[in-house]
Structure 1
Amino acid sequence: MFMIIARTRTFLLSVFLLISTPLLAATETPVGVWKNIDDVTGQAKALIEISANAGVLEGRIVQLFRQPDEEQNPICIKCAGVLHDQLVLGMTILTGLKKDGDEWDDGAILDPNNGKVYRCKIALVDGGTKLEVRGFIGISLFGRTQVWERQP
């Protein structure tokens, strides 16, 4: 009887570890899809897919949430260089983020609304369900933070 209980306990522990390990790993990294929440209006603006390439994170817009009276497929008319007059949907707006302790920094973020590129750092919060995205000029003190929500 003791052997059956011990085997059952071992089996259940194994199943728990198999199920929970990928979930824990998913929340330890910003890689995934995030809903961008505007820090001024509180409205969802876009879905951003963050991916890693050789340990460096980047994020691109995979879906836009537009009001009926807004252009549904906008272009970045205020962007400079190769991004000028390019579609916002599919645009890479996060680049160069590298892990530094509990955050990722030394990156840049593009605001397609004004075409400006800001320095950027990000950090997971609330057990990896939210992402604090800080864009700034010069030092982090001079900037603003948005909190993005992880999507399933």
Structure 2
Amino acid sequence: MKAMIAAVLLSLSASMSYASEANIEGVWRTVDDKTGYALAHISIEKQANDTYIGTIIEQFPFPGQPLILLCQKCPKPYTDQPIKNLQVFKGLINDVKQPDNYKHGKIIDPLTGKIYGMKAKLSSNGKKLRIRGYIGTSVIGRSQTWLRKE
């Protein structure tokens, strides 16, 4: 009987730690999918309406290039806004059928000013977030893997 209780408690403990890892809230390091360079740190927060937003809290220049400070090519209301503290994505919701998946977001590329549809998938250990920006359907787009900042 004690062994059964211990097994149940261990199982509950494991599922509770997975649930905390499965949370996308926190700070993530974005990595360019083409160059492998770190681009920024993004803070992801859950809103009162159960959607997630991502805000650039720190940005890094490409080696040998100056840091771009303003979202010059961005549409209104982002036009000429500082990239630091820019809300880079919004509207992302958790897929209740697949808890590690998120969907229906909108993400802006501050370097090009383009806005894309967005979905994301959290790795099983909670340390990687695969972001997909797309036009229309997720087949037409590109992905980045963001790394949880520890």
Greater Cα offset, 22-31 or 111-120: 22-31
- Shift of residue 109 of structure 1? 0.5
Partner letter of residue 38 of structure 1?
D
SS in 1 for 2:125: helix
The ranges of structure 1 where at least 4 consecutive aligned residues each deviate by more than 2 angstroms after the TM superposition are 20-26, 67-73
Higher share of residues assigned helix = 1
Name the Cα RMSD after superposition. Answer: 2.1
Matched, 1:63 2:58: yes
Take 2:115 and 2:147, find their aligned partners in 1: how far apart are those partners?
22
Q: Which runs of 5 or more structure 2 residues have no equivalent in the other structure?
A: none
What TM-score, normalized to structure 2?
Answer: 0.83
Take 1:23 and 1:44, find their aligned partners in 2: how far apart are those partners?
28
Partner letter of residue 30 of structure 1?
I
What TM-score, normalized to structure 1?
Answer: 0.82
Deviations 1:110-150 (A, max 9, x none): 00010000000011014111000000000000000100000
Q: Which runs of 5 or more structure 1 residues have no equivalent in the other structure?
A: 1-5
The count of aligned residue pairs is 138
- Relative to structure 1, the CA distance from residue 137 to residue 94 in structure 2 (aligned partners, 3 Å threshold; closer, same or farther) is same
1:94 to 89, 105, 118: 89
* Identical aligned residues as a percent: 35
- Shift of residue 82 of structure 1? 1.5
- Shift of residue 73 of structure 1? 5.7
Deviations 1:10-49 (A, max 9, x none): 8xx89xx5xx787544311111100000000011000000
